[in-house]
Structure 1
């Protein structure tokens, strides 16, 4: 091994994140967004041709694609289709004004290995903070020039790695109940849609993070954000995992959804929900009784 090659905490050569990136990640995880760098730009599995081939062999429920000229706030049922097949969308994405996501690409063995190797660089840091990396998953986003991903939240710890093109991740504070009201967090925990209501008064709270190939951003669980693509085609590789903390938060919001429906007082979801043993125990009782 070259003396100049970055190594992982276990002493192996780092696949995606060098020593500096890991140090920045450790300082921010799990609660703060953080700009990082990575080493996967130009990887053959993440080329446009390879992704078009991958998309065409994926099941229909693992892909989503639509027009990319969308407002920041849009109801899911109002999202327009682009009139193309998935393969056509990816192969002509430079000119068709679309946005596409390939979900759970870890179901393909080659992409599963890439996900594993990238997360392995960070696993010791995550385990020391929030316990084991649970439910590891990967998503690939492809966007036409100028496309927009509307204001939304995601349920996982997420690092978005920019592979091709440019985009701006516009990140907002977590735990801001004006941005994400408790009722929406509760519905989201029950499978509700990720899109959020947008209001221009939210803009002063944004932190824009510009991404070019080789850049990445750590996104905390349920950090509200929207994405603006640059002037070229964008490919981004999203590597995600759950933790004891994210699972506990989802449990408590799910419990509150049921309590609210019955007009009962809700449980306050704190900064460390994994330590809220009484609320989590009540969630398990409610689930066991099927209430």
Structure 2
């Protein structure tokens, strides 16, 4: 007799955990600034079966689904990326043969998958909260990739744990604090203008990279804006990414937005970290300006509403 996804999930052994005990200790040894491999215990979860993921892809808003060909360069020009003209659920079901790469975004907005991200974050909260505060803007993503696909060199603005669910891949992760790898002006544009995640890559960067070879049951913690690229193995791959923001990642983004504005005015803002007190003053000023802006928008909205009434 056919069982629904909900029934399968209910049968899942709830004694399983997202993060294995040894993995939690490894995570604690590295968070928040260093990448580290951890282990998890849910790679057999029914929500990651292809049929369940195909159904999820079909019901997500179009803005939450991104896909392309997977035969990309490490430093791929975003303008050169092509897509297959297939329905998104069909891309999921044929991922072993269609040569595609796909990400399902913000799957935490789906109730079933929301429970998974909540469980993960609850387990690591005793490590996260004392060091970077309560997690903010929690999101989850599911990546599917055909054999030998490449995810180009890029960085992300969140703390991230990537859980390998099916297949094998190698993720090469680089230090987030090397300005030779990610120039300051790129970081400023990334935060201020929402620049594309893909970045220029030079083979000399590999001297600073750490390879994490991921099989089902393996995971890797990737710090905020730690550059990385991924090469899939000879089998189709499914990965689940749990991300969150923190006070420190929020302040880092604010600092780069202020520096971007100063640079546009012809002022050299200096390198983050060289003048901690000045950095803190810039962040505080950004908080004030954004707070005033929100208040003015609220007041203007009320005035508009009263005028319409």
Which sections of structure 2, spanning at least 5 residues, go unmatched?
1-13, 294-309
Q: 1:245 and 2:248 equivalent?
A: yes
CA distance in 2, matches of 1:126, 1:74: 34
Tell me by how many angstroms 1:261 deviates. Answer: 0.6
SS at match of 2:286: helix
Aligned residue in 2 for 1:3: none
Give the match's secondary structure for 1:263: coil
CA distance 1:94–1:273, change in 2 (3 Å): farther
1:73-222 correspondence to structure 2 within 5 Å: 73-190=75-192, 191-222=194-225
1:267-286 CA deviation, whole Å, 9 max, x = no partner? Answer: 54239989943121222345
**Does the residue aligned with 1:238 lie in a helix, a strand or coil?**
strand
Tell whether 2:235 aligns with 1:232. yes
Query: What is the aligned counterpart of 2:43 among 41, 45, 53?
Result: 41
Q: 2:16·2:42 contact (CA, 8 Å) conserved in 1?
A: no
Question: Equivalent residue of 1:36, what SS?
Answer: strand
- 1:235 Cα deviation after fit: 0.1
Largest Rg, 1 or 2:
2
SS in 2 for 1:116: helix
* Paired residues of 2:103 and 2:141 also in contact (CA < 8 A): yes
Match of 1:283 in 2: 286
C-alpha distance after superposition, 1:80-119 (max 9, x if no partner): 1122221121111100101000000000001011110111
* 1:8 equivalent in structure 2: none
Q: Match for residue 305 of structure 2? A: none
* Structure 2 counterpart of 1:9: none
Offset, 1:168: 0.3
1:43-82 equivalences in 2 (<5 Å) = 43-82=45-84
CA distance in 1, matches of 2:219, 2:273: 28
Residues 248, 273 of structure 1: 8 Å contact kept: no
Between the aligned partners of 1:160 and 1:124, the Cα distance in structure 2 is: 19
Q: For residue 34 of structure 1, report the CA deviation from its aligned partner.
A: 0.3
**Does structure 1 retain, via aligned residues, the 8 Å contact 2:70–2:99?**
yes
Find the aligned partners of 1:272 and 1:117 in 2 and give their Cα distance.
39
CA contact (8 A) 1:244 1:274 kept: no
Quote the RMSD (CA, aligned, Å).
2.0
Secondary structure of 1:71 counterpart: coil
Whether the 8 Å CA contact 1:245–1:273 is kept in 2: the answer is: no
Counterpart among 254, 257, 262 of residue 254 in structure 1:
257
- The equivalent of 1:7 in structure 2 is none
Query: TM (normalized to structure 1)?
Result: 0.91
Tell me the distance in 1 between the aligned counterparts of 2:202 and 2:17: 40
Structure 1's 19 and 288: CA in aligned 2 closer, same or farther, altered over 3 A?
closer
1:174-199 superposed Cα distances (whole Å, 9 cap, x missing partner): 11112111111011112111111011
8 Å CA contact 1:267, 1:279 repeated in 2 = no
When the two structures are aligned, how many residues end up with a matched partner?
A: 279
Give the distance between the partners of 1:63 and 1:252, measured in 2 at CA: 30
